[in-house]
Amino acid sequence: MVWKDKKIKGWRRFFHSFRYAIKGLIHALQSEQNIRIHLAIAFGVIICAYLLSIPFVQKLILFLTIGMVIALELMNTAVERIVNLVTEDYHPLAKQAKDVAAAAVLIASIMAVIIGVLIFYKPLIAYFVEVVTK
């Protein structure tokens, strides 16, 4: 896609690119159920991290992991849109492209769960032991 307004240059053009990115994010939030699910889970994970006083470095790892999953979900959505734009007919390569993009999200999500378990396991056990022994 070619930049339509050649008069906009420099910083103004730079800030316009953020506007397009935000529009893309809003569109994905409105049209893609999986992104909304990922964001809801991420919100819960972040709240739990603060309630359980997870150390800063581990919170940072959680934020990076969440960002990776959301970014891959957005890329998956982009691949699906491009494939749908190119062909409406069934084609094995189109299916493979969509499946591989979805697999990237699946792998990232599985890794996010593993990371979450490793980070939350001890604090959750300690919290429940404290609650039960009171």
Can you give the residue range of the structural domain that contains 97? Answer: 33-133
Residue 13 is assigned to a structural domain of this protein: no
The CATH number of the domain where 72 resides is what? 1.10.287.3610
**How many distinct structural domains can be found in the chain?**
1
Q: Is residue 3 part of a domain?
A: no
pLDDT at 90 over 70: yes
In-domain check, residue 7? no
Active-site amino acid positions: 73
pLDDT averaged over every residue in the chain: 93
Q: Over the chain, what HEC string results?
A: CCCCCCCCCHHHHHHHHHHHHHHHHHHHHHHCHHHHHHHHHHHHHHHHHHHCCCCHHHHHHHHHHHHHHHHHHHHHHHHHHHHHHHCCCCCHHHHHHHHHHHHHHHHHHHHHHHHHHHHHHHHHHHHHHHHHHC
pLDDT category at 15 given cuts 50, 70, 90 is: confident
Establish if 1 belongs to a structural domain.
Answer: no
| Residue 37 located in a structural domain | yes
Q: Tens digit of pLDDT for each residue in 29-49?
A: 999 999 999 999 999 999 999
